[in-house]
Amino acid sequence: MASSSPSLTTLEQCFISPPKSSVPETSIPLLFTDIFFLGGGVVERLFFYKFPHPTSHFISDHLPTFKSSLSLTLQHFFPFAGHVRQSPSSPDVYELYYTDGDSVSLTISESTGDFQDFAGDQARDFSKLQPLIPTLAHESEPLMALQVTLFPNQGLCFGIVVSKVASDGTNSTNFIRSWATTCLSGAGEVSFSSPPSFDRSNIGDPYNLYSIYLQTALYMKEMYKNAGAGATKKEEFLATFRLKKEHLEKLKGAIMAGYPEGKAPFHLSTYVVSCAFMWACLVRSKGWPEEKMAYFGFPLDARPRLSPPLPAGFFGGCLAFKTTKAKVGDIVDEVTGVGAAAAAIGKAIDELKDGVFNGGETMPQTLGEVVANQGMWIAGSTRFRVYDVDFGWGKPVKVEVTTIKGVETMAMAEDGEGGGGLEFGVSFPKEQIDAFEVCFNDALKALMV
């Protein structure tokens, strides 16, 4: 007899604010680095933890500290409790606006499902994960929502969704780590990963990118609003693929061996090598004609690359985007393919020496070209250290970025199993995941011969 689908019960929905009167009414103008995402876009993360206790134990022993530490942390990251609005002084200026009493939605739920079915590496039907993801209520345009889903006597899932117009991954994970450390300590004061900074005086806009990106964002907002209601897509699955430390070292060595004195004439790092390997595997799995161009795009944290550099805790979005391309025939070559992919990515990173936002005025068109050609994107970073996020239940056994669904994006993180490797979350229709898995495993076998 077929087992029934797991059910989800909402136990509590509440709204958490910073401590009363702790933050004055504040507006923070959006910069060109934020405004591009006014048209839409969120980041969703799911953190899975072992929690072999009944739901009542979480409610009585953990939830009060979870809430109080959230309130304390929001006092310092208060824009997350606010919303985006047009400035009263100018219709072309948008701002993050907070007033006393603004809050973040927190939902507590319970699932009848098997925790391991949700938290594994295997391909999982995305529709089963969807109920674990909090939703942003569009009416008031909030910037963050939170959800805890308990699997009694097995584990729990902490879900967070953050609007990209308010935050990039560096900023949102800084908030999460600060909150988790505060919750773990129970000391009644915030323990910062990096203190948030709201000073925007050092960011200029020499290329007039705000105006360009605002027009793009408003166009995208209208397009999303009218997007095809009747469009049907294949059901997607989420799976995880791991590159161990020995794989990464072997890859880097093989690429360097192809150059005089073993020195690549471009930026060659673990990031470049791992992305090149995943890109090559994905392109092979597509079965594209060799003369076609394959595209690749990736974000970079611009904070340390500006002059002067911004503090690590700079609040808001501060991403630059780079893209590159190469012939399919070059990338799928069994001997030199990963090296060709690495050269394309490494040379794109080298171009940052000319200025992290140099050429930014063509960024909307460039990103559109990658999307139109089914190019691969990378999300996430090992620098986020998502597997160190401990609220008092231990470190997570699995972390997923679920916003990779439907956008040809892979989510990078440090290997949750440890050992200095990396993991990549992918989301494709089942037959495409199966094809990718074959290419991935074959490439690893060939590498380790």
Model confidence band, residue 392 (pLDDT cutoffs 50, 70, 90): very high
Between CA 299 and CA 363 the distance in angstroms is 12
Between CA 381 and CA 388 the distance in angstroms is 13
8-223 and 236-447 in the same fold: yes
Average confidence (pLDDT) over 71-79: 98
Q: Does the pLDDT value for residue 267 go beyond 80? A: yes
Evaluate whether the domain defined by 236-447 bears CATH number 3.30.559.10.
yes
pLDDT for residue 218: 86
Contact 198, 186 (CB under 8 A): no
Q: Which runs of consecutive H residues, i.e. helices, occur in 315-421?
A: 328-331, 337-350, 363-372
| Greater model confidence, 55 or 137 | 55
Average confidence (pLDDT) over 115-132: 94
Q: Which long-range contacts (CB under 8 A, 24 or more apart) does 434-437 make?
A: 434/123, 435/285, 435/287, 436/241, 436/281, 436/282, 436/285, 437/239, 437/241
Q: Where are the domains of the chain?
A: 8-223, 236-447
Classified by CATH at the fold level, domain 8-223 comes out as Chloramphenicol Acetyltransferase (3.30.559)
| Greater model confidence, 179 or 136 | 179
What predicted TM-score, i.e. pTM, was given to this entire model?
0.95
87-101 pLDDT, tens digit per residue, is: 999 989 999 999 999
pLDDT for residue 229: 43
Average confidence (pLDDT) over 273-302: 96
R_g over Cα of the chain = 22
Q: Of 202-206, 397-401, 415-419, which one has max mean pLDDT?
A: 397-401
Task: Say which amino acid occupies 199.
Answer: D
Q: What are the backbone dihedrals phi and psi of residue 205, each rounded to the nearest 5 degrees, phi first?
A: -135, 65
- Cα 249-251-257 angle, rounded to 5 deg: 100
pLDDT for residue 261: 81
Contact 88, 193 (CB under 8 A): no
Q: What are the backbone dihedrals phi and psi of residue 213, each rounded to the nearest 5 degrees, phi first?
A: -70, -30
- b (16+ CB within 10 A) / e for 117-129: ebbeeebbebebb
Between CA 172 and CA 384 the distance in angstroms is 9
